[in-house]
């Protein structure tokens, strides 16, 4: 019945959007699982999201492709699995956030013999792969991102009309539909310690403690901090929706709300379990009414194709994601796929298949421990206490699992065992389910490349020959009659341009650059600035040309 409700929702949504291109708004928070009241957890008071959920389709089975931000966001912006395009390692370079040089650990914990570190790098994508907002811009949309990217490559100029902390639909030209993204970071893992001096609005004695964490004062305080951060996030969502109401756009805009992956606590973020991958997900149509719930499976690779479909654009064939709404909606998925590779200074390789009940985990290095001793995560106050209890042998068997060895295969019944604690892979009563999930796993492996099989140092050499980032070749300008034609010799590159009165204008790439899609008209006595860029390549040199009468 819930799938039927989703199909009805899509049919009605198509009818509502048939007359004009819809505005589309994404409100994206960070690091939360479906621990909200409309998923059954009323610990945090979230009146704004509760009201939004009553007017939305609530998706009960939405999943990130990786349990951490950068690889996950790379799949969102491209419609591709991180393992297919080489963005699966967390994190790759200065284009995102500088982490300095990270030691590369092989599966035995020894520094890789290829080199003593993994250099910072921007991932070079296959030449056909674009950031999906580029297709929206080509169709006439004004696209804004405020303001996190974290794609594992520098966001190209052609992806967004605005990509900064001031980016807003309010800056668009009159009459243009918009696609606007707002990223709220107050629930990020780091706020467990950065917000330590803020008052708790959720009492520690009232929070639920997952069975894989020890129930003590330190744990409860950290969990209370997270729920308090969720309440702060709810208020931020309210501010964005209020601006939409002020502009008279609430009922003219499709609204998405979701988190970029699962929760921030130990044994949540980065993990290939529901605790790291399952997220809250809402879609509100441009008319207020109660829509209900669906258990349809959603993967983050589906988000880009879905937005294109809502805008009436056929998603490119290369995209691995499938639209779940709009004119080009596909039939429901039977499973989602996710991955786990290097996280900061520790490497590994795990793949998962999840259907509407079962979670299958394939560990390629079963001799490694589940727990990775990441320096960044040790900033969470409870981690010191957790490690101390582990060293003293005071964790119970469930809490100790995270610090134990891995099995080659894991199988969990996510309905009876939502915390993914009881591995049924060796249970003779569940071998039929195991074999079915393994069959889905090998099907996925045969349909998509897995660049995680390539050592990261080798992968970098493939992307950056001789250790040098490839450079996009300079664009070329051809004038025919009163039109300007722009081309680039670099296969897969896109072109951006802007006009100016100044022949020596400083190169401010935060300014608005237009996407070149077709010949443009000459502007007499103006200077045309042109750049080309293939994703992962260095930006080309800037060509400046004065237009004559």
- Predicted local confidence at residue 322, as pLDDT: 97
Is the same domain home to 362 and 258?
Answer: yes
Domain check: are 345 and 489 in the same one?
A: no
Residue 395 Cα to chain centre, angstroms:
33
pLDDT of 192: 98
- Residues 143-168: tens digit of each pLDDT: 999 989 999 999 999 999 999 999 99
Residue with tokens 């899609």: 517
Q: Which residues, other chains included, contact 301 with Cβ-Cβ below 8 Å and sequence gap of 6+? A: 65, 75, 76, 79, 80, 81, 319, 320, 321, 322
- Give the pLDDT of residue 462: 96
Catalytic site residue 143?
no
The CATH number of residue 514's host domain is 2.60.40.10
DSSP 8-state symbol, 283: E
- Chain centroid offset of residue 32 CA: 13
Q: Last residue of a domain, which of 461, 489, 518?
A: 461
Task: Name the one residue in this structure whose structure tokens are 């130990």.
Answer: 266
Cis amide prior to 91 (ω within 30 degrees) = yes
Nearest one of 512, 507, 515, 549 to 532, comparing CA atoms: 515
- The answer to whether the beta carbons of residues 195 and 209 sit under 8 Å apart is no
Number of domains observed in the structure of the chain: 2
Predicted local distance difference test score (pLDDT) of residue 289: 64
The verdict on 435 and 475 lying in the same domain is no
Written as six digits, the tokens of 487 are 């081309």
Rounded Cα distance between 74 and 82, Å, is 7
| 354 to 39, 322, 401, 424: CA distances (angstroms) | 19, 16, 21, 15
Residues 313 and 331 placed together within one structural domain of the fold:
yes
- The predicted pLDDT at position 97 comes to 34
- Strand, coil or helix: what is 15? helix
CA 536 to chain centroid: 18
Alpha carbon distance 125, 123 (integer Å):
6
Q: Which residue among the candidates 6, 69, 143, 414 is catalytic per the annotation?
A: 69
DSSP string over 459-515: HHHHHSGGG---BPPPPEEEEETTEEEEE-SSTT-EEEEEEES-TT----TTS--EE
Q: Do 526 and 424 fall within a single domain?
A: no
Same domain (yes/no): 371, 490: no
**Residue of 354, 342, 225, 280 lying closest to 30 (CA atoms):** 280
Of the residues 404, 431, 461, the one at which a domain ends: 461
Q: What is the pLDDT of residue 13?
A: 61
User: 373, 346 in Cβ contact below 8 A?
Assistant: yes
User: Does residue 452 sit in the same domain as residue 475?
Assistant: no
If asked whether residues 445 and 503 sit together in one domain, one would say no
**Low-confidence residues of the chain, pLDDT below 70?**
1-19, 94-117, 288-290, 549
Domain residues for the domain of 162 are: 2-461
What single-letter DSSP state applies at residue 414? T
């Amino acid at each position: 019945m819930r799938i039927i409700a989703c199909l009805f929702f899509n049919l009605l949504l198509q009818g509502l959007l048939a007359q004009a291109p819809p505005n589309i708004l994404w409100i994206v928070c960070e690091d939360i699982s479906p621990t909200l009241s409309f998923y059954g957890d009323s610990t945090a008071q979230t009146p704004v999201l509760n009201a939004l959920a009553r007017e939305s389709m609530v998706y009960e089975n939405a999943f990130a492709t990786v349990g951490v931000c950068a690889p996950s966001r790379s799949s969102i912006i491209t419609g591709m699995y991180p393992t297919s395009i080489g963005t699966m390692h967390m994190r790759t370079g200065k284009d995102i956030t500088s982490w300095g040089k990270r030691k590369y650990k092989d599966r035995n914990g020894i520094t890789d013999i290829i080199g003593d570190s993994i250099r910072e790098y921007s991932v070079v994508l296959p030449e056909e792969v674009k950031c999906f907002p580029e297709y929206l811009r080509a169709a006439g949309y004004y696209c804004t991102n405020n303001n996190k990217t974290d794609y594992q490559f520098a966001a190209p100029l052609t992806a967004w009309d605005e990509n900064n902390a001031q980016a807003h639909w309010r800056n668009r030209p009159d009459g243009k539909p918009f696609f606007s993204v707002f990223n709220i970071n107050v629930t990020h893992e780091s706020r467990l310690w950065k917000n330590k001096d803020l008052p708790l609005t959720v009492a520690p004695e009232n929070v639920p403690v997952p069975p894989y964490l020890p129930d003590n004062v330190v744990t409860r305080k950290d969990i209370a901090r997270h729920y308090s951060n969720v309440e702060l996030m709810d208020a931020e969502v309210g501010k964005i929706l209020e601006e939409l109401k002020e502009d008279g756009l609430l009922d003219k805009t499709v609204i998405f709300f979701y988190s970029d992956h699962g929760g921030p606590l130990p044994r949540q973020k980065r993990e290939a379990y529901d605790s790291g991958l399952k997220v809250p997900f809402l879609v509100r149509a441009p008319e207020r009414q109660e829509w209900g719930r669906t258990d349809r499976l959603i993967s983050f690779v589906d988000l880009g194709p879905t937005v294109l479909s809502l805008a009436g654009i056929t998603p490119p064939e290369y995209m691995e994601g499938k639209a779940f709404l709009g004119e080009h909606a596909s039939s429901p998925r039977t499973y989602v796929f996710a991955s786990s590779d290097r996280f900061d200074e520790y490497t590994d390789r795990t793949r998962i298949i999840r259907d509407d009940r079962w979670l299958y985990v394939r560990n390629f290095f079963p001799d490694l421990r589940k727990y990775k001793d990441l320096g960044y995560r040790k900033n969470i106050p409870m981690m010191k206490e957790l490690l101390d209890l582990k060293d003293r042998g005071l964790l119970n068997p469930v809490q100790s699992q995270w610090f134990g060895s891995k099995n080659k295969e894991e199988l969990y019944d996510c309905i009876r065992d939502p915390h993914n604690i009881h591995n049924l892979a060796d249970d003779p009563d569940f071998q039929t389910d195991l074999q079915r999930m393994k069959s889905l796993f090998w099907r996925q492996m045969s349909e998509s490349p897995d660049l995680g099989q390539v050592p990261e140092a080798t992968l970098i050499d493939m992307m950056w020959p001789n250790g040098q980032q490839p450079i996009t070749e300079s664009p070329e300008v051809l004038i025919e009659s009163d039109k300007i034609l722009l081309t680039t010799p670099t296969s897969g590159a896109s072109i951006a341009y802007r006009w100016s009165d100044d022949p020596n204008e400083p190169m401010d790439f935060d300014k608005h650059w237009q996407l070149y899609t077709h010949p443009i008209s000459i502007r007499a006595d103006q200077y045309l600035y042109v750049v080309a860029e293939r994703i992962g390549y260095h930006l080309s040199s800037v060509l400046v040309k004065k237009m004559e009468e």
